Amino acid sequence: MSRGRLLQGDGRTHIDSPLMRESLVDRKVIASTDSEREFEVLPDVMLVSIGGQSIFDRGKDAILPVAEELADARGKYKIIVGVGGGTRVRHTISIALDLGLPTGGVAQLVGAMEEANAVLLNALLAKKRSMVMQREHFWELPLYLENGMLPIVISTPPYHFWEPPAEEGSPLPTHGSDFGLFILAEVLGMKKLLFVKDVDGLYDRDPKKHDDAKLIKRISLSALFANLPEDLPIDRQLLDAWRNARHVERIQIVNGLVKGELTRALAGEDVGTIIDRGETHA
């Protein structure tokens, strides 16, 4: 392959490559970069998300048992932990919007509240080899995992001031912590994500409002899209991104308030709700 030669002649200096001179907006050019498979960067790792509102905001009685299960799982599995921010994120947004800050400004603020929960969890688990992984240390993940560490990552994606405008009229940032963790799992080629919440899984209606809500034990992504419950325990943006994803095969939602559920899910048991991607990337 002759790729790499420098070419001149139209006023610009190009490097010879199949994308040379091409408009990267051209659909044919974009399609030329597609292929059936995709490289897996860190495939044998599971990502576990600990809910902000659902676990952290409930305090000690909810946090400690989950922390204990994480400590027991460390060493048995390669796990990366993410945490949500919870009610302090909501408070931040509520004040920021009252002040009229733009969507990107709001997005810039919220990650701090999650980072605080990450630091809190890390303080609890430090003697069990946890550590807060800063984004600049992204490529140190293999080092941590190979040494049996338990990295705790910041869940909010680094969209910050550059958060894209939401749907017409809404000032709320849409790329939240569920989405951020999902993309992290996907780019690293992970297959499984676990969301630890305060409900037994996904219901056909919000179980906090409806006593007759039914638990969905297993559903495919396409079936979920065909009949989306009005109140989802995970971000809609995550589900949208999943449709174009190639690696994440399963998302499991378990109840962190029920002792042992997280451990059973990590061991591969079908507890809570399992969402399967189903059909592979087209």
Residue ranges in 39-98 that form contacts with other proteins under rule CB under 8 A? 39, 41, 53-54, 57-62, 87-91, 93-95, 97-98
> Which residue number, 74 or 192, has a Cβ lying nearer to other proteins?
192
With 0-12 / 13-18 / 19 or more C-beta atoms within 10 angstroms meaning exposed / middle / buried, residue 54 is buried
For residue 166, state whether it binds other proteins (rule: CB under 8 A): yes
For residue 11, state whether it binds other proteins (rule: CB under 8 A): yes
For residue 199, state whether it binds other proteins (rule: CB under 8 A): yes
For residue 262, state whether it binds other proteins (rule: CB under 8 A): no
> Which residue number, 127 or 139, has a Cβ lying nearer to other proteins?
139
**Taking the complex as a whole, how short is the minimal distance between the CB of residue 223 and other proteins, in angstroms?**
20
> Which residue number, 74 or 199, has a Cβ lying nearer to other proteins?
199
Footprint on residues 120-149 left by other proteins (CB under 8 A): 138
For residue 25, state whether it binds other proteins (rule: CB under 8 A): yes
For residue 112, state whether it binds other proteins (rule: CB under 8 A): no
Q: Are 48 and 70 in contact (CB under 8 A)?
A: yes
* Order of strands, sheet of 46-50, starting from the edge strand that comes earlier in the sequence: 130-133, 150-154, 79-83, 46-50, 192-197, 250-255, 273-276, 218-220
For residue 204, state whether it binds other proteins (rule: CB under 8 A): no
Residue carrying structure tokens 């680094």: 158
For residue 263, state whether it binds other proteins (rule: CB under 8 A): no
CA-based nearest residue to 124, from 48, 66, 200, 79:
66
**Token digits of residue 134:** 């800063």
For residue 27, state whether it binds other proteins (rule: CB under 8 A): yes
For residue 279, state whether it binds other proteins (rule: CB under 8 A): no
* Chain CA centroid to CA 164, Å: 18
- CA-to-CA distance for 190 and 143, rounded, in angstroms? 17
For residue 251, state whether it binds other proteins (rule: CB under 8 A): no
Q: Are 276 and 258 in contact (CB under 8 A)?
A: no
**Token digits of residue 226:** 């065909």
**Taking the complex as a whole, how short is the minimal distance between the CB of residue 113 and other proteins, in angstroms?**
11
Question: Near other proteins by CB under 8 A, which window of 73-81, 118-126, 152-160, 263-271?
Answer: 152-160
Q: Give kind and range of the element (H or E) at residue 125.
A: helix 103-125
For residue 103, state whether it binds other proteins (rule: CB under 8 A): yes
**Taking the complex as a whole, how short is the minimal distance between the CB of residue 81 and other proteins, in angstroms?**
17
With 0-12 / 13-18 / 19 or more C-beta atoms within 10 angstroms meaning exposed / middle / buried, residue 218 is middle
Out of 119, 123, 161, 268, the residue judged to bind other proteins by CB under 8 A: 161
**Taking the complex as a whole, how short is the minimal distance between the CB of residue 123 and other proteins, in angstroms?**
19
- CA-to-CA distance for 268 and 96, rounded, in angstroms? 41
Out of 146, 168, 212, 279, the residue judged to bind other proteins by CB under 8 A: 168
For residue 225, state whether it binds other proteins (rule: CB under 8 A): no
Pairing of strands 192-197, 46-50: parallel
Which residues make Cβ contacts (< 8 Å) with residue 122, sequence separation at least 6?
Answer: 130, 131, 132, 152
Out of 71, 105, 249, 264, the residue judged to bind other proteins by CB under 8 A: 105
**Token digits of residue 237:** 């943006």
> Which residue number, 127 or 209, has a Cβ lying nearer to other proteins?
209
